[in-house]
Amino acid sequence: MNEEHFKKIISHAKEFGFIFPSSEIYDGLSATYDYGQNGVELKKNIKNYWWQSMVQMNENIVGIDAAIFMHPKTWKASGHIDAFNDPLIDNKDSKKRYRADVLIEEHINKIENKINKEISKGKKRFGDDFNEKEFRNTNPNIKRRNEEIERIEKSMGKAFENDDLNAIYELIIELGIVCPVSGSKNWTEVRQFNLMFKTELGSVSGESSSIFLRPETAQGIFVNYLNVQKTGRKKIPFGIAQIGKAFRNEIIARQFIFRMREFEQMEMQFFIAPGTQEKWYTHWKNERIKWHKALGIPEDFLRFHDHIKLAHYADAACDIEFKFPFGFKELEGIHSRTDFDLKQHEELSKKKLRYFDPEKNESYIPYVIETSIGLDRMFLALFSHSLKDETLDDGTSRTVLSLPYSLAPNKVAVLPLVKKDGLPEKAKEIFNRLKLNFNCIYDEKDSIGKRYRRNDALGTPFCLTIDYETIEDGAVTIRERDTMTQKRIPILELNEYIDSKVNMNVLL
Ligand code: GAP
């Protein structure tokens, strides 16, 4: 785990307005995050890249936007009510029920609190000379406690990965975790509980019924597949794409936006004739890896991981894994889902969900290939890969967020050299010429060097400097983020030049 880099990602995301902890003034809400002024733009650009490559570039794929709330039978049909679970444990003395993972996480928090106390003591002792980083690295108590946290996290992660409920129980016993109410260690075994968030529909007491926040967007596509096929006069093979929120009451939610309780998915279901699934599965594996590589992500940061243990509905499945700072982890899933979902919906809804194939002159339930990527995970993948500290030729250093130009939150920063002599007015004029086509930043505060650095850290591809010559020759200095090269360019050519570098077409 590259812990330093991961910490830097989190602090950079906050400092530069990409991601804030949710409801931070109340000390945040675990595994929930808000996207700030720059995060929302980057997220929107990732969505556009995905949407355009799916819907715009494929004449047989269309999009929908289904509701988050769905009829509860949807989740019975999909298997989520019966098999989408997390581990629970009861204390026999207090009769209180806990999430086994939360008990372990709270135990870890206690160790972290001890570390924080040690640091407060250090601060008091050393006053202004206190160096927290050095103290963390050298204090034996802190080192021992950090090792203990790492060991517990590893054991817990392994137990969950192997679905080993007994190992989780044993970890709770080994750590001597007590019930916060009874204070006893008298625990039951660990059992599973459902990951879906449940709420009530209807306000009159006695008339309400339980509904769920959707744990995946896919089911909104399945239940609408015939609506889209008929109204869109679609012939198999065809696809339906959707981007939207999904909710899961996750077990281990300690890796920033990698695993959240509220997140966004970009999913596409491709409806095909039975028997053609192998061909289309391979097709979508190739298409999806190409999509990632077009972003400039190097080969050794991406890999396929084939599922050996297949879910009950799949006849083939793999993940595209990305090398996050904490190792290779799932970024996207590609699943050959057979006709499982549609068959289930047909059975529970008692509605025919068959497609009449005019070429074969027969009706059948289509098979489905699914591509499913987490938008927030894609954000983290891009952000972690792009954030770099560079040492420059003159010995100075800079932090640069080298996002693909088409995805950068802002494309241009317009910077008057000084705040006087008509330069701000000229800069505003240029800003107004460009703002119709690009997200622009206007910045006149601090030295030009500091403004370049700020925009490097934001990932802005181009900085334009408006100087005294601009008034005379109608040209500006354009500086490119990655090469830091500068050249003069006439104002009249700016729109076309910048567009040729930042347009989404460059990726598509
Ligand atoms: N419809 C299939 C499906 O939902 P999944 O593997 O459970 O499959 C698909 O989820 C993708 O959604 C994952 O590859 C991941 O990128 C993202 N994802 C899943 N759970 C997430 C979470 N708790 N936080 C952020 N992203 C998540």
Condensed to tens digits (0 to 9), the pLDDT of residues 38-60 reads 999 999 999 999 999 999 999 99
pLDDT at 68: 97
The b/e string for 50-62 (b: 16+ C-beta within 10 A; e otherwise) is bbebbbeeeeebb
pLDDT digits (tens, 9 = 90+) for 377-405: 999 999 999 999 999 988 999 999 999 99
pLDDT value of residue 311: 76
CA 316 → CA 30, 61, 265, 448, distances in Å? Answer: 34, 22, 21, 55
Q: Is 385 in the pocket of ligand 1 (CB under 6 A)?
A: no
- Going by alpha carbons, the residue nearest to atom 5 of ligand 1 is 333
pLDDT digits (tens, 9 = 90+) for 401-451: 999 999 999 999 999 999 999 999 999 999 999 999 999 999 999 999 999
pLDDT score recorded for residue 383: 97
Mean pLDDT of 125-141: 89
Looking at every residue in the chain, the average pLDDT score rounds to: 93
Which residues, in sequence order, are CB contacts of 180 under 8 Å at separation 6+?
A: none
pLDDT at 27 over 80: yes
Lowest average pLDDT, out of 73-82, 280-289, 310-319, goes to 310-319
Rounded distance between C-alpha atoms, residue 15 and residue 368, angstroms? 43
Give me ligand 1 centre to Cα 258, in Å.
10
Q: What are phi and psi of 195, to 5 degrees?
A: -85, -5
Determine if ligand 1 sits within 6 Å of the CB of residue 259: yes
In the reported structure, the alpha carbon of residue 32 is separated from the centroid of ligand 1 by a whole-number distance in angstroms of 15
Q: How far does the centroid of ligand 1 lie from the alpha carbon of residue 144, in Å?
A: 34
% residues pLDDT > 70 (the chain): 98
H-run or E-run covering 329: strand 327-336
CA of 299 to the centre of ligand 1 (A): 22
- pLDDT tens digits, residue range 293-314? 999 999 999 999 988 767 778 8
How large is the average pLDDT for residues 135-162?
Answer: 90
User: What pLDDT was estimated at residue 254?
Assistant: 66
Q: Is the pLDDT of residue 163 over 90?
A: no
Q: Are 477 and 448 in contact (CB under 8 A)?
A: no
pLDDT of residue 85: 83
DSSP of 7-30, one letter per residue? HHHHHHHHHTTSEEETTGGGT--T
pLDDT of residue 1: 59
45: how many CB neighbours lie within 10 A of its CB? 20
CB 458 within 8 A of CB 447: no
The partner residues of 476 in beta bridges, in order of sequence, read 489
The CB of 218 under 6 Å from ligand 1? The reply is yes
pLDDT given at position 250: 79
Q: Does 264 sit in the ligand 1 pocket, CB within 6 Å?
A: no
Position 80 scores a pLDDT of 93
Pairing assessment for the beta strands 327-336 and 367-374 based on DSSP bridges: antiparallel
In the block, residue with structure tokens 């902890």: 21
pLDDT band at 252 (very low <50, low <70, confident <90, very high): low
**φ, ψ at 285 (rounded to 5°):** -60, -45
Residue with the smallest CA separation from ligand 1 atom 21 is 259
CA dihedral 463, 464, 467, 472 (to 10 degrees): 160
Q: In this structure, what are the phi and psi dihedrals at residue 165, rounded to the nearest 5 degrees?
A: -65, -30
- Name the pLDDT band for 204 (thresholds 50, 70, 90): low
The per-residue pLDDT for 501 is 97
CA of 371 from ligand 1 middle (Å) equals: 11
Q: Is the CB of 34 under 6 A from ligand 1?
A: no
Question: Does ligand 1 come within 6 angstroms of the Cβ of 330?
Answer: yes
Q: How confident is the model at residue 203 (pLDDT cuts 50, 70, 90)?
A: low
pLDDT at 208: 60
For residues 138-151, give the mean pLDDT.
Answer: 93
Output the furthest CA–CA distance in the chain (Å, rounded).
84
Candidate of 216, 310, 369 to mutate for ligand 1, largest count of ligand atoms within 8 Å of Cβ = 216
Pair of tokens at residue 428: 């505003």
Helix spans in 299-422 (H): 340-349, 375-386
| 31 or 350, which is more confident | 350
CA distance 241 to 254: 30
Rg from Cα positions in the chain: 27
SS3 for 237-259 is: CEEEEEEEEEECCCCCCCCHHHC
What is the residue-wise DSSP string for 73-105?
HHHHHHTHHHH-EEEEEEBTTT--EEEHHHHHH
The pLDDT of residue 245 is: 98
What is the distance in A from the centroid of ligand 1 to the CA of 138? 39
Residue 350 has pLDDT above 80, yes or no: yes
Give residue 257 CA to ligand 1 midpoint distance, Å.
Answer: 12
CB-ligand 1 contact for 287 (6 Å cutoff):
no
* Residue with CA closest to ligand 1 atom 9: 372
pLDDT at 199: 92
The answer, yes or no, to whether any atom of ligand 1 lies below 6 A from the CB of 377, is: yes
Nearest residue by C-alpha to atom 14 in ligand 1: 332
Site to probe by mutation for ligand 1, drawn from 372, 380, 382 as the one with most ligand atoms within 8 Å of Cβ, is: 372
Least confident among 99-113, 267-281, 345-359, 369-383: 99-113
pLDDT for 176 equals 96
CA distance 446 to 463: 14
**Mind listing the pLDDT tens digit for each residue in 477-486?**
999 999 999 9
**206 confidence band (pLDDT: 50, 70, 90):** low
197 contacts 68 by C-beta, under 8 angstroms: no
Paired tokens of 361: 């002159």
For the CA of 372, the closest atom of ligand 1 is: 9
The CA 452 to ligand 1 mean position distance, Å, reads: 37
Q: Is the CB of 219 under 6 A from ligand 1?
A: no
